[in-house]
Structure formats: C-alpha cells, structure tokens
Amino acid sequence: MPISSLFRKEVIAMSAYKVADASGLIKLDAMENPYNWPEDIKTSWLETLRDCPLNRYPDPEAKLLTETIKYLYQIPDQFDVLLGNGSDEIIQILLMALPSDACVLAPTPGFVMYKQLSDCLGLNYHGIPLLAENFELNLPAMLAAIQQYQPSVIFLAYPNNPTGNLFSAASIKEIIKTAKGLVVIDEAYSPFADASFISSLGQYDNLLVMRTVSKLGLAGLRLGYIAGSTEIIEQLHKIRLPYNINCLTQLSANFALSNKALFDQQTQAICAERAIVYKQLKSLNGIAAYPSNANFILFKTPENTASKIFESIKRQGVLIKNLNAQGGLLRDCLRVTIGKPEENSTFLNALINSLGEIG
C-alpha cells in the first residue's frame, strides 16, 4: 500500500495552491497595494513593536484589535467579530464547522478558495455560472440551486474576484431571504468599492460579512475578520485555534488601522489609476476590458492568445495573472492588479508589444 493511501481520497485528488515566483518582475498578479509607508510612520511602527513580549502567547481573543475593527468599520455592538489568519482561514473555520455532507454554493467564476477548501474537507461544492454578458448573478439559477441543494453556506464576493464587478444588491438580498443556510458577503475589495452589506447585518439572521486587510495594503500581516450574530460567531470560535492571530500582527494591525488616513490616500490613488488603466485597455484593438470596483481589471484577449500574451508580458518584466486555463467565462482572460503609475505604464507598453508580436 502506498503511504499516500493513508490520506483522504479528496486530499489525494487535490493540487496545492500554487503561487507564481515573481522575483525580478513587476508584481501585478496578486491584488497587493503597491505603496509602502513613509519613513516617519515606519519609525513609529517599529517603536510600537519594541516591547512586544515575544516570549508570551498573544491575547487569544485579540481584544484590542477586535475593538479597533468594530469601531473603525462601524460594526454594530450587538454583532460579534471573529478574526482569522487571513480571511482564507475564516473560510476554512466556517467550512470545518459544517456537517460532513453539507453543500456549499458560490457563483462562478469566483474566488478559488471557496472550492479549494470545500473540496479538501469533502463537502459538496456547487458553482453556478454568472451571466456571460456582464458577470452579473444569474438570479433564477441561483434561487433554483438553493432549492435543489439547500446549501449550508453561500459565498458571494462583493466585488467579485476575478471579474471585479459588484453584483446587484437586490439580487443578493433575494438570495439572503431565500436561503435557509448562511450567506457570507466577502468584502475583500471594500476599500475600492463604495458599497457594503455591513449596515444590513441587522436585517437578516443568516448574513455574515467578511473582510480582510490584505488588499487594503497589509497582505503580509495575514488578518481577516467576519461579523455576524453572536449565535453564529460563537460556534466558529470553537473551531478557531486559540492563538491564531500572532502578537506582531495584533500590534501592527492595530497601529496601521489607527493610521487609516494613510490607507485612504493610497486607495484613492489606486482608484484614480484604475480609471486610467481601464481607459487605456479599452482603447486597444482586440482587448475587451471589464469595468471594475476592485484594485484589478479583468480583460479578454483575442481568441487563443491569452497564454502567449501573458508569457510575452512576463518576458518584458511584468507578472500578471493568466486565467485562461480556468476555462468557462475566463477563457482568453487575463487579470492585472493596479500598481503605481510607472508600473501600469510598463504593463500597458508590454501588452501593446505583445499584441504586435501575435500580429
């Protein structure tokens, strides 16, 4: 018997989540904020960390940071918040709390971790295709799937990754009302979108709102949070490992969020650049760019050229994301994260050169 037969069949069937090597390249593949901090802010951050007691376990409930988050993002007092080592860990915690035969539903194309984590836990994942013309929710299909599968959890990314759009809020509300299971609105890109379901928490018992500081500009810290009713969050705390948020993350996030004005400036700059890159992409012959409420833009290349264009752009020193292999609505699609103005120009020139190469 091979030693691998010790593992669950769904684990053996999976592949590990691969991250492309970006060394030496301009990194526009992972929705990171391209801006670092000014020197004076770095200095006060290091001062904050000086006396961090690394010999002690961190506060298991990260009370101070939780309070900061509740206050800053106006999460009403009657709701609870659970912090995760990135929102990826929160998705994992939530799915681990479900019965082993539970169904999980999400529109597709969508964020890959919903399926990846459902698969590795042996849950039944169902992806419901978005409408081809505008990546909007197919509401009748979603409602039919809810009736058919009775999902324990539905994930809706708002804005959606990798398409960048905000789904219709009316459709989302219809889904929350119809579903008997939990509905997680994943607001990973909320810093770039003027829309949120946080203020709707009080209206629906089954609604959870999840966010992360990663796309805001703190991807290295690994911190996400989810807000919802006490009855739901208290179950999730039982699955959470006791010290899942380390003390450096607790202190650094608390420090960073108290300098929120800095991130607001950076996200405004990124949104302004998004408009410029979108306009330039749209002006290119053969490229179809999709409108975005996030810090990236999805675009379609001429038929069967996506991988060639991706490789050519990479040879010219810029790493973006090739989504062509995912197929379906993502055939021929590439995704670029908005970087600094000069990085975006380098990307656009590389794209123009690559279009010339394929003729």
Ligand X SMILES: *Cc1c(COP(=O)(O)O)cnc(C)c1O
By CB under 6 A, is residue 86 in contact with ligand X? yes
- By C-alpha distance, which of 180, 188, 194, 183 is closest to 210? 188
Q: Is 186 in the site for ligand X (CB under 6 A)?
A: yes
Instruction: Please choose, out of 84-92, 99-107, 307-315, 323-331, the segment that lies near ligand X by the rule CB under 6 A.
Output: 84-92
Q: Is 217 in the site for ligand X (CB under 6 A)?
A: no
Q: How far is the CB of 53 from ligand X (least distance, A)?
A: 26
111 part of the interface to ligand X, by CB under 6 A: yes
The minimum distance between CB 165 and ligand X, in angstroms, equals 12
Pairing between strand 182-186 and 207-212? parallel
Q: Please say which residue, 215 or 314, places its beta carbon nearer to ligand X.
A: 215
Q: Is 224 in the site for ligand X (CB under 6 A)?
A: yes
- Is there binding between residue 151 and ligand X (CB under 6 A)? no
Q: What tokens were used for 298?
A: 């999805």
Can you tell me the distance from the alpha carbon of 97 to that of 95, in angstroms, rounded to the nearest whole number?
5
Task: Count the site residues for ligand X by CB under 6 A.
Answer: 13
**Dihedrals φ, ψ of 204, to 5°?**
-135, 125
Torsion, Cα of 87, 90, 91, 93 (10° steps): 160
Handedness of CA 202, 208, 212, 215 (dihedral sign): negative
State in angstroms the smallest separation of the CB of 84 from ligand X.
7
- Return the range that interacts with ligand X (CB under 6 A); candidates 7-15, 80-88, 100-108, 237-245: 80-88
Decide if 244 contacts 84 (C-beta within 8 A).
yes
Query: Smallest distance from the beta carbon of 343 to ligand X, in angstroms?
Result: 19
Asked if 188 interacts with ligand X (CB under 6 A), we say yes
88 in contact with ligand X (CB under 6 A): yes
Contact pattern for ligand X over residues 10 through 49, marking x by CB under 6 A: ---------------------x------------------
**Which positions lie near ligand X, rule CB under 6 A?**
31, 86-88, 111, 157, 161, 186, 188, 212, 214, 219, 224
